[in-house]
């Protein structure tokens, strides 16, 4: 979920039916080399293909399995060849279909140590949301750590934990062969704020986590970047332009989300100060 803290009051109104782009089909397409887009108009799902099997990052809403399958088959691949399932944040709009996909494919689910418990209890321990955001609990096979490299065939995906949006939200990086040219790619989870930054008993370290996550993302220099929501990286514009190479856009996006976080933190501090 990408909306800001103030929108939390209206959360039930903001779920899937109020976000038509979450459900609307979008043509599957190649991002670069062996990286493809298989999500909807706004909920990004990424397929990284190899002869040895595929990695699928994010699965979308609970009813998205048929669309995912169609998108993967249109590209000439098979859902059953997905061997590893990953997510970028353990929120229902990205993982609600994951248990179904796991059962259909027999793929192994990897999740960060901080998001794994939330995946396994279907969102019940999520510090930000309640029953409106529960999903089918997901069996997690492996807990992944910051700096770990996930390998499948020729693909090596580095785990960079970027907590704050969710307790275990995560960014992945890899190098892609883009028509003979090696390019750095980031699947960057954007640090949007969906819970209180100060005095948050369910997530006391949230502000410090976001600070560190933005610092990590500022050090990264991807030539190609994507995010969990297609709108966050101007997906449609890039599809039309026929290129996802956008190093300046990455820097601008991280700057923008970091600035927004700092503004919200300043507001929270001002409010906390005035209430004493």
Q: Which residues bind Zn ion (CB under 5 A)?
A: 1, 89, 91
Q: Distance (Å, rounded) from C-alpha 80 to C-alpha 45? A: 16
CA distances from 75 to 78, 213, 230 (A): 9, 34, 19
Comparing CB distances to Zn ion, the nearer of 58 and 65 is 58
Comparing CB distances to Zn ion, the nearer of 54 and 91 is 91
Nearest approach in angstroms of CB 168 to Zn ion is: 11
Helix (H/G/I), strand (E/B), else coil: 85: strand
Nearest approach in angstroms of CB 180 to Zn ion is: 36
Give the nearest residue (CB) to Zn ion. Answer: 91
Comparing CB distances to Zn ion, the nearer of 50 and 136 is 136
Q: Distance (Å, rounded) from C-alpha 85 to C-alpha 261? A: 29
Comparing CB distances to Zn ion, the nearer of 79 and 206 is 206
Cβ(169)–Cβ(203) below 8 Å? no
Nearest approach in angstroms of CB 133 to Zn ion is: 9
Comparing CB distances to Zn ion, the nearer of 93 and 178 is 93
Nearest approach in angstroms of CB 121 to Zn ion is: 16
Q: What does the CA dihedral 61, 66, 67, 73 come to, rounded to 10 degrees?
A: 140
262: which DSSP letter?
A: H
Helix (H/G/I), strand (E/B), else coil: 266: helix
| CB atoms closer than 10 angstroms to residue 66 | 10
């Amino acid at each position: 979920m990408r909306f800001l803290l103030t929108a939390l009051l209206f959360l039930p109104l903001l779920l899937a039916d109020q976000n038509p782009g979450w459900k609307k089909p979008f043509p599957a397409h190649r991002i670069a080399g062996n990286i493809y887009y298989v999500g909807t108009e706004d909920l990004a799902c990424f397929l990284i293909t190899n002869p040895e099997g595929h990695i699928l990052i994010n699965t979308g809403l609970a009813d998205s399995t048929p669309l995912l399958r169609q998108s993967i088959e249109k590209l000439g691949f098979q859902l059953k060849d997905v061997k590893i399932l990953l997510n970028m944040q353990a929120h229902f709009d990205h993982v609600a279909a994951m248990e179904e996909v796991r059962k259909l494919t027999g793929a192994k689910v990897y999740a960060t140590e901080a998001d794994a418990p939330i995946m396994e209890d279907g969102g019940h321990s999520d510090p930000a949301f309640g029953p409106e955001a529960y999903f089918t609990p997901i069996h997690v096979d492996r807990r992944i750590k910051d700096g770990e490299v996930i390998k499948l065939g020729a693909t090596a995906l580095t785990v960079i934990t970027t907590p704050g949006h969710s307790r275990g939200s995560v960014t992945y990086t890899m190098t892609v062969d883009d028509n003979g040219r090696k390019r750095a790619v980031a699947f960057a989870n954007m640090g949007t704020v969906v819970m209180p930054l100060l005095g948050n008993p369910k997530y006391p370290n949230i502000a410090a986590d976001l600070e560190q996550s933005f610092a990590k993302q500022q050090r990264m220099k991807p030539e190609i970047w994507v995010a969990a929501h297609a709108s966050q990286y101007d997906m449609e514009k890039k599809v039309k332009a026929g290129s996802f190479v956008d190093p300046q856009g990455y820097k601008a996006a991280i700057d923008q989300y970091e600035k927004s976080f700092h503004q919200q933190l300043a507001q929270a501090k001002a409010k906390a100060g005035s209430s004493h």
